[in-house]
Amino acid sequence: MTNDKPVKGPASYFPSIEAKYGFPIQHWLDLLATQTELKHMEMVAWLKSEHQMGHGHANALVAYFRNQNGV
C-alpha cells in the first residue's frame, strides 16, 4: 500500500502551472521572493501583469509562497 494521498490546497495547481508556463515551481517561488514587500493581492497582480499568469495560478503560487515563508 502506498501513501499517495491526493495533493490539496494551492500545491494541487503546481502540475498545471508547470505545464502551462514551462518553468518549475521553484522558478516562480524565487521570483516571488523578490517581491516580499507586496501584499497578497499585489503579488497576484504582479504575476498576472508581468508574467501573463492566470488569476487562479497566480493566487495559488502566492498563497503557497506566503504560507511557506511566513509572509
Which pLDDT score, from 0 to 100, does residue 2 have?
A: 56
Q: How confident is the model at residue 70 (pLDDT cuts 50, 70, 90)?
A: confident
Residue 17 to residue 41: CA distance in whole angstroms? 18
pTM of structure:
0.89
Q: Counting runs of H as helices and runs of E as strands, what totals does the chain give? A: 4, 0
First to last CA, the chain: 37
Residue with the bigger pLDDT between 23 and 2: it is 23
